[in-house]
Amino acid sequence: MSGYDHDLFVIGAGSGGVRASRIAAGHGANVGVAEEFRVGGTCVIRGCVPKKLLVYGAHFAEDLVDAKRFGWQIDSRQFAWPVLRDNVLAEVDRLNGIYHETLENHKVKLYPSRATFIDAHTLDVGGERVTARHILVATGARPLVPDLPGAEFGITSNEVFHLEALPKRLVIAGGGYIANEFAGVFNEFGVDVTLINRSADILRSWDPALRDRLLQISLAKGINFKFNCSFERIEKTDAGLRIHLKEGDPIETDMLLWAVGRRPNVEGLGLDAAGVALNEMGAIAVNEDSATNVDNIHAVGDVTDRIQLTPIAIREGHAFADSIFGNKPWRVDYNCVPSAVFSNPPLGSVGMTEAQARNKLGQVKVFTSDFRPMRNVLAGRNERALYKLIVDASTDRVVGAHMIGPDAPEVLQAVAIAIKAGLTKAQFDDTVALHPTMSEELVLMR
Ligand code: NDP
């Protein structure tokens, strides 16, 4: 081990850090990992996993209504937030335990403390001096809370899973992934939700037709939207919170949720002491091999702000560990990364949007299917799904798929394989439909 305490020291036991630790240890490295909070990271502890469970919980509100049309008589419909909350938190505890076991099984030494660089090979880990040949920064990101008076009266996605009780009224600041996901969830729980965004659009990077469909369905479900609004200050009142906007009258609410983006966790790590450089976005600057400007220091996941998605952090951690410790160098391919918003209904997307394809390829063909899912028809629910395929007119290759509707993310993952593999529209059409499904629309668009 050439005089170091560890071959690899990882700062942060989230998705990227745990994967890198486990793979490096599997290649025979002596690995230490520091985690100041809970092993598992944002995704497991206060992100994807508990959020998805809340999405499932919320959907019962509509399912129980729709059930009547399918012959089920449900006499009382009552929702107990504490039951769902506690069950979700217990599941998070279970997964946290599994992550601990993974580290133990791979003989990774866990330091339950904060780690700070003393120099490029030395860290202060909870008062202990620890040295390592390689160091991986995988500290993730945290919700951005804007710098304005009273901002501290708002909560973030970190706190939202622990609420004592549901508010009657909720204002959500932002119009991105987190804002739309929690708007859908809390609306189903009967909370009066208002989403306020600074621009004129929700989900700015998404296909406009899908965004518009989500907006129209959300409005029909009773979610309120205010666009082109900026927050001025938040005032605490006897009744709750008063939100002062730069435009228009103040808004009274019981709770405010900040969902205006996430910032890389670079502060307080002593990156200066190690000489690690940041990029213009304030994230750790890395190359395609996740290497920083300092030879023995790498960084993966949200702290590098490439694509803020768990599977990307995991791949980056895996590629790093295989490349440095397994003599198997490889790089993450960021082409065709699928993504979903677990709004109600959810969205899924992979590849180029229509606008991106037109800019890049010139001639494109666009195929759409705008349909009412069978289940919604019988339920009397007037919600239409929309699928869109973007095709390169010169090669016939399908270069993008975008969909909104029930289970869209599940369908999207499968179609992402075809798009990543470079299949043509003719090959889609050549595939026999699986009837009756929603996904058969993918092979029936003419
Ligand atoms: P997003 O980047 O998705 O959206 C941020 C929203 O906040 C935008 O509407 C943006 O406005 C607005 N905004 C940004 N900065 C400010 C500001 N200073 N003041 C007021 N409004 C502002 O951020 P989220 O926090 O929702 O999520 C962060 C990231 O986490 C996502 O981008 C995604 O990568 C990841 N994530 C993924 C999920 C998934 O895979 N399902 C779920 C949750 C998060 P504008 O419209 O002007 O851009």
Structure-token pair, residue 420: 């990543």
Domain spans of the chain, in order of start: 6-141+263-325, 151-260, 345-443
To the nearest 10°, the Cα dihedral for 182, 183, 187, 193? 130
435 is catalytic: yes
pTM, entire model:
0.97
Atom 33 of ligand 1, nearest CA residue:
308
Would 6-141+263-325 and 151-260 be classified into the same CATH topology? yes
In the predicted model, what is the mean pLDDT of the chain? Answer: 97
CATH architecture of residue range(s) 345-443: 2-Layer Sandwich (3.30)
How do residues 118-148 score in pLDDT, each as one tens digit?
Answer: 999 999 999 999 999 999 999 999 999 999 9
The enclosing H or E element of 388 equals strand 385-392
pLDDT of residue 75: 85
Superfamily of segment(s) 151-260: FAD/NAD(P)-binding domain (3.50.50.60)
Q: Distance between CA atoms of 316 and 300, rounded to whole angstroms?
A: 6
pLDDT of residue 295: 97
- Average pLDDT in the 308-333 region? 98
Question: Which of 43, 156, 198, 203 for a ligand 1 pocket mutation test, highest count of atoms within 8 Å of Cβ?
Answer: 198
> Residue 2 above 80 pLDDT?
no
> Residue 7 above 70 pLDDT?
yes
Neighbours of 390 (CB within 10 A): 26
State whether the beta carbon of 309 lies less than 6 angstroms from ligand 1: yes
Question: Which of 42, 55, 214, 262 for a ligand 1 pocket mutation test, highest count of atoms within 8 Å of Cβ?
Answer: 262
State whether the beta carbon of 341 lies less than 6 angstroms from ligand 1: yes
Beta strand spans in 70-220 (E): 109-111, 115-119, 122-125, 128-137, 141-143, 169-173, 192-196
| Nearest in space to 420 (alpha carbons), one of 336, 309, 311 | 336
State whether the beta carbon of 177 lies less than 6 angstroms from ligand 1: yes
State whether the beta carbon of 175 lies less than 6 angstroms from ligand 1: yes
Q: Distance between CA atoms of 397 and 389, rounded to whole angstroms?
A: 10
At residue 76 the predicted structure's pLDDT band, cuts being 50, 70 and 90, is confident
- Average pLDDT in the 260-264 region? 97
Instruction: Say how many Å lie between the CA of residue 126 and the centre of ligand 1.
Output: 33
State whether the beta carbon of 270 lies less than 6 angstroms from ligand 1: no
At residue 417 the predicted structure's pLDDT band, cuts being 50, 70 and 90, is very high
Domain spanning 6-141+263-325 has what CATH number? 3.50.50.60
Neighbours of 432 (CB within 10 A): 7
How do residues 170-190 score in pLDDT, each as one tens digit?
Answer: 999 999 999 999 999 999 999
State whether the beta carbon of 197 lies less than 6 angstroms from ligand 1: yes
User: Residue 222: left if φ>0, alpha if ψ -120 to 50, beta else—which one?
Assistant: left
pLDDT of residue 53: 98
